[in-house]
Structure 1
Amino acid sequence: MQGSDIHDSSYSWTRLIITLIIATVANVGMWAVIIVMPAVEVEFNAGRAEASKPYTLTMIGFALGNLLIGRLVDRFGVTVALIGAALVSALAYLCAILSGSIFVLSLAHLLLGLGTAVGFGPLIADISHWFLRKRGIAVALVASGNYLSGAIWPTLLADILTADGWRHVYMILAIMTLAVVIPLSFLLRRRVPEDAHGKAQAAATLRARSTGFSPRTLQYLLGLAGIGCCVAMSMPQVHIVSYCVGLGYGPVVGAEMLSLMLLGGVVSRVLSGVLADKVGGVITLLVGSTLQCIALFLYLPYDGLVPLYVISLIFGLSQGGIVPSYALIVREYMPAKEAGARVGFVMMMTILGMALGGWMSGWIYDMTGSYQAAFLNGIVWNLMNMGIMVMLLLRGRPRQMVPA
């Protein structure tokens, strides 16, 4: 198959399916600590902010992993990156199982986040090379692996958590990661021919000139926007289980709401991918960010059981397409050969936003005894994200979007 024929081919779609399966398994390390957080809080007699530290360290590792592993993918290909990251994740689960304090557990989760990162930005960057006309939907589907992981595994593992404890859950995840990710990674050894990047590069250069921003300035703006949207996003995603426990509904109800939220996010990501193929990443991101802000406002007046289920679904349907849109914007405006590193940087900043927001919401809860102020804090950060996207739209000249 020639370079000009590789995009949107039958092989591209086969590769997409394999990548999605890997992402659904590899990403579970990002969500595991959210489900076990109440059990960890009780076992170590920790406050809410202290019990949030393993999650925060997970997200810091996840952020760094997106940047570092993204560069490895640019240089060595995705197969090498997947094998190494799977081994790191398995080691991290083992260290967590053996931990006897919040401090050691948090360090183990820093390592877990680093390994888990391969399932997000690096896979998104890799699949973006294999599509032109349908890049939006392809990126959205691979990004959905992150949410599918959070929607599927917490529900499946909830009974094991109740019966056998969180350490048994982590042992299962370690074995599953090794058994699935490493074998499937060998099916992704093929790389895009060099001559296939020409059309993508030309379109990206044209778009970059239209904004008046240098690639570096645009990258930093996207990073700042990513922090804003994800501080807001983290409040429901990170603390919904603890929120439900505090309201007296229990951790199982919280896990169900998280699963519902993330399933809504999967739908949102797919729909956003379809939209992005028509109007581009910037408009798609602005739409998602605006809807997320509206959904956050809905959490303020309602804390009943049924309303929380409904709002959690609305929140998921609102925000799922935001983060994948950053990857699309990078590919629309920046060089194809730098996709792993550039996407990795912006994904790193969104994840740092999740880490900051996860810790910040726990700290606000400890200070106020309520999550109301934490929701308001998320709304303020969300407005900053919206402002940056509006600025990018105003700086860019109206044009017909073309695939990058």
Structure 2
Amino acid sequence: MSDSPDGPKPSSARRPWLILTGAFLAFTVGASAMHSYTVFLLAFVEEFGWSRAESSLAYSVGQLVGGFSSPLVGGMVDRFGARRMILLGGALLTLGLVGSAQADALWQIVLLYGVVMTFGANCVGLLVFVPLISGLFPTRRGMAIAVLQSANGFGRAVSAPVSQMLISGVGWRAAYLLEGAATLLLLLPLAALFGRGGSGAAATTARGTPAPVRHWTLSEAIRTTQFWLLFLVYMFTSIGSFLVSLHQIAFAVDVGFDPLYAASVLGMGSFLAMPGVILTGTLSDYIGREASALLAYGISILGVGCALAITGPDQHLLLWLHACFFGLTWGARGPAITAKTADLFPGPRLGTILGVITIGSGLGAALGAWAAGWIFDISGSYRAAFLCSIAAYLCGSIAFWALRRPPAPRAAVVEAD
């Protein structure tokens, strides 16, 4: 019988749900802090005169750091457990937010947001909680991961209007200080919900007994076709999403919409990410991971298409449709992708394996976020960036659909060991 505090206790059937709730809230706090940058971007442009590409640099660096630090974070959570990671993440996020309030140069924002806050957010994100949650909900893995990942969309929805109101009311520097204080006050008590042990990544049954599964190592997983297909899925999906998401508010303001109105509409659309992620993640348990992901890709493409059709500030319906369709599927492929990773590579090294695969997500997000700003700077429009987003989503669909094929002989032999 496991004595890990992170493992499910037979005497309490509610503990897995308590852990899932705590993970959701912690992830929401981290996601809110990171996604608020999309609103601060316009404040930086106005005060410092930076170009869109320069203003996007910190965000792009953050995505690179997030991706390349993922193996380290995955290994740390396998060793130290969720509680210590949340405490570390809370400290780094608070340091980054408070430090950003004092910044007066681009390199400072790049360092504080792109490095310090990004690593902190990784410590309260999917890499920390997925190994634990996938073990606590082995038969409802897609649903549980979907609930967890919906925190990303929820945090994104909350951060846009709240940050815009704070910036409009007290200025961007004071807004950063307030967000830093809130982050620290929220994450400290949440960390107490988690035990001091390891991640608890070993798969369990609903009653807490070990399930007979093959425990994969990173060296075994990296030799499979499925590993690299998942890497491509993460990369193309992030390219498609971040070619649009970072610059949504800037795009709407450029077209002529009021900044607070645009932030509110896009924020309301982002609230749909919660039901969208939960629905597609739960569906993946029943109709398959691939079919669920393809549905989400299709809706995202429709949302980007609505943005392409907007030509003036009188087209409120198209802005709402873009916000709803794009928001509905923000992160909606995540549960299917992450659950597929847990399906293929279960065991106590899942955090490390997921961390290496997630490098693809960081690369794609960095490229997409920077490229959208660069395209705007040279063309004066986001149209080409949005078209590239659709192309990236199509590539991600093809790579994910390829995962339906049976494992390669090499992977089958490994599983049989």
Same fold (TM over 0.5): yes
1:67-78 to structure 2, matched below 5 A, reads 67-78=71-82
| CA shift in 2, pair 1:40/1:72, >3 Å | same
User: Are residue 353 (structure 1) and residue 361 (structure 2) matched?
Assistant: no
Matching residue's letter, 2:275: V
CA distance in 2, matches of 1:80, 1:4: 18
Q: Unpaired runs of 5+ in structure 2?
A: 409-417
CA distance in 1, matches of 2:11, 2:407: 27
> Which one of the candidate residues 103, 120, 124 is aligned to 1:119?
124
Q: Unpaired runs of 5+ in structure 1?
A: 206-212, 398-404
Check whether the contact 1:21–1:145 (CA below 8 A) recurs between aligned residues: yes
Check whether the contact 1:201–1:336 (CA below 8 A) recurs between aligned residues: no
Q: TM-score normalised to the size of structure 1?
A: 0.89
1:207-246 to structure 2, matched below 5 A, reads 216-246=224-254
User: Are residue 292 (structure 1) and residue 300 (structure 2) matched?
Assistant: yes
Give the match for residue 22 of structure 1.
26
Give the match for residue 310 of structure 2.
302
Give the match for residue 341 of structure 2.
330
Matching residue's letter, 1:229: T
Matching residue's letter, 1:363: W
Matching residue's letter, 2:335: P
Matching residue's letter, 1:20: F
Give the match for residue 271 of structure 1.
279
Deviations 1:66-85 (A, max 9, x none): 33222111111111111111
Give the match for residue 401 of structure 1.
none
Once the two structures are TM-superposed, the CA of residue 54 in structure 1 deviates from its matched residue by 1.9
Matching residue's letter, 1:230: S
CA distance in 1, matches of 2:203, 2:168: 54
Matching residue's letter, 2:35: W
> Which one of the candidate residues 40, 55, 58 is aligned to 2:59?
55
Check whether the contact 2:88–2:123 (CA below 8 A) recurs between aligned residues: no
Give RMSD over aligned pairs: 2.7
User: Are residue 40 (structure 1) and residue 44 (structure 2) matched?
Assistant: yes
Check whether the contact 1:288–1:318 (CA below 8 A) recurs between aligned residues: yes
User: Are residue 375 (structure 1) and residue 383 (structure 2) matched?
Assistant: no
> SS at 2:50's partner residue?
coil
| Structure 1 ranges of 4+ moved more than 6 A | 1-5
Q: TM-score normalised to the size of structure 2?
A: 0.86
Give the match for residue 176 of structure 1.
182
Give the match for residue 154 of structure 1.
160
Matching residue's letter, 1:51: S
Once the two structures are TM-superposed, the CA of residue 17 in structure 1 deviates from its matched residue by 1.1
The 10-residue stretch of structure 1 (248-257 or 382-391) with the greater mean CA deviation from structure 2: 248-257
Q: Percent identity?
A: 24
The 10-residue stretch of structure 1 (53-62 or 131-140) with the greater mean CA deviation from structure 2: 53-62
Matching residue's letter, 1:387: I
Give the match for residue 210 of structure 1.
none
Check whether the contact 1:30–1:58 (CA below 8 A) recurs between aligned residues: no
Deviations 1:25-61 (A, max 9, x none): 1222221211111010111111111111122123223
Once the two structures are TM-superposed, the CA of residue 279 in structure 1 deviates from its matched residue by 2.9
| CA shift in 2, pair 1:363/1:132, >3 Å | same
Count of aligned pairs: 391
CA distance in 2, matches of 1:20, 1:144: 8
| CA shift in 2, pair 1:158/1:193, >3 Å | closer
User: Are residue 9 (structure 1) and residue 17 (structure 2) matched?
Assistant: no
CA distance in 2, matches of 1:349, 1:8: 38
